[in-house]
Structure 1
Amino acid sequence: MHIHPLITDSATLANLCTRLAEADFVTVDTEFMRESTYYPVLCLIQIADVNEAAAIDPMAPGLDMTPLLDLLTKNEDVLKVFHAGGQDIEIIYNLTGTTPHPLFDTQVAAMALGQGEQIGYSNLVDSWLGIVVDKGARFTDWSRRPLDARQIEYAIGDVTHLAAIFPMMLERLRKTGRGLWLDQEMERLADPANYANDPDLAWKRVRVSGRKPDVLGRLKALARWRELEAQGKDLPRGRIVKDETLGDIAGHPPKKQADLAKVRGLSATWAQNDIGTRMMGALEGATPLHADELPARDDRKPGLGKDGSLVADLLKLLLKIRSRDIDVASKLLARTDELEMLAAGVREGLPMLEGWRFDQFGSDALDLVEGRLAFAVKGGKLKMTRTEDAV
């Protein structure tokens, strides 16, 4: 594979993208910094196909990134391959307002191949290629220039190894018949809605106890205010106000701005500065959350009771057995909250009761809940047995 020098000019980048546009797939990775900003700062993009690989410096003066971004988001003929690509996809969304498509995530694919729920990149490379990845540059400051040869070599390795692994992984998925399992997961990852930071939805990321409409209404207003402050200042949300402080204020709102001096987690200056005034304005404009906006109850299992909880535990055991038997990560088959909802009597809107998940697990889970499946110990081993076959 040909490795290009660091690309810093528009013409070289455009020529590279013209060639890559003819590839069946490209592997993509990014290096970024986000410790002190709201939006991640893109510092490097790596891309490869089976023939060539390059690192691109998005911080290079005058570099036109349009050909690369178009390749990633507008070319439907080239599959874009990432590993644990959520943050990479978020960066591309921030730059373009859309996401790479079609895409493939090797971490998700590894779940279908029995390699755990969140296999790291270095472990993936070791398991498929027998190569130990040098982690020396992992925690480097990618925003500093110039980048040295070791940094660039480390960064490009992320896509060259992936370009070798992806065809092997794809072949194994074909042999096992599990490729179709992943289509829905990949489309979910590519959904732009996953990466849009809507200030009106920011409150859902803040954990608070209880479901009081007035408290949640204040939380919604405060979280929206914080999101807009963070975006405008390009600072992490926690640098504006920490989650726990936001939750405390929503639950016990100050009557006047001067009371902000008494709030744990806020500086006393908030009692008289502009940001404190804006926070109080957000509180004053808050209205109770509408009933249709209220989150599901914490346990998400209305009327489950003790017996229902036991059924949920049996479903978790069934999931563990089934995922072991077919060598697939249990998280790919069903989530814990789904199991609890099934035990509570919910039958609609559960992914595990649809498509391939129903065939591989949901059907048995439904049979267990409805009394057609039971556990038995045979030969010292725990087995599933149909109740009509049980002695």
Structure 2
Amino acid sequence: MIQNKSSEVAMGKKMKLSNMKLISCFLMLFILSGCIGAREINDLEIVIGMGVDKDENPENILLTAQVVKATAGKASENESRGEDSKAFWNVSSRGNSVFDAVRQITHKTGNRLFISHNQAVIFGKDIAKEGLQEYIDFFLRAHEMRPTALILIAEDRASDVLNAKPETEKFPAVNIAKLIKTYGFTSNFYKVNMEDFASCLLNPTKAQLVPLVSIIQDGEYKDVYVSGMVVFKKGKMVSKLTHDDVRGLLWILGKVKSGVIIVPSPNEQGKAVLEIIKAKSKVTPEIKDGKIVMHIKIREESSLSEQTTSENLATNEAFEKIQEASAEVIRKEAMAAFNKSVELNADIFGFGEMLHKKYSKEWKTLKDNWDEIYPTIELNIDVETKIIKTDLLKKPASPSE
């Protein structure tokens, strides 16, 4: 009896061991077989930038893709030999749609484009004026495309921007992305990605903004710079904002990161140059007697970073005058941005959204006539500035009298 039980236990152990081996074999099959549908690195054309322009044939678009060359790491060696040192290849194709043009490129590359590393999508001005709705669908729908890819508008042709090779960067597309990401130093523009633009496009009252990139000819070289931002209304480009207009917008929205404010010195014999250290704002909408008023409080802190006068500006009296002057500069920039938006009849601030949150019932009647109502809005701007430091100098470096 005992012998039978021990044999049964032994048989059970063998069965369990066999099952474990069988399961292990199945697991090894899946692990060692690799990823289904994987694409080898040698079969990929890695794209870091894309441009979309209107073709000579109005029914087609011209797509430009900036592809990383396989010999990109040997660029310096090629340059020393006098060979072409470009680490990228701008390959273009035409098609009836963006996706059609993407697939047509395979006739030139021999491989499909891999767009997961795409830094930016640039649209030509002609496309922007026509409207971006039908052209951004592919970039939002493609599963390889990152929604954080930047969206930009070219002053002229997107293909020209991608061809402008910078001096300090191997890839024009990467250089453009770097330029956009430095917006905080001046607050003259701000970055917009595909997800941001699509979200704003779904808003029926808010105008969309996208950075504008232009080309400057400097001798034999072409430099790319961000010259402002483009205003879109219902997906179509309607105008441009200058650097000052954009900073005025950001003052109101509380999104100024840094920058420079220049005001006359108290004795008006020179200038005081201030660096913006911190800024914030609060916008409170009010509907009173049928009139819409946006109450805006802006608070800013700065440092005295430079002066062009021998006067000692590090005094309470001088600080008060400089602070008043800088507050007036901020107020003027904010009002200039608002006046520009009224001229365009484009709600670039999202005032409609703010009203919707606070006055949901009233908004039901306001939203259908927002184009007529927006120009009648009044702004009440209150600005408070404070100089919190003078950097390393307390007095100007000038000869004593």
Higher relative contact order (CA 8 A, sep 6+): 1
Q: Compare the two structures and name the one with the higher strand fraction.
A: 2
- Asked whether the two chains share a fold, i.e. TM above 0.5, the reply is no
**Whose Rg is larger?**
2
TM-score (structure 1 length as normaliser): 0.30
Q: Compare the two structures and name the one with the higher helix fraction.
A: 1
TM-score (structure 2 length as normaliser): 0.29
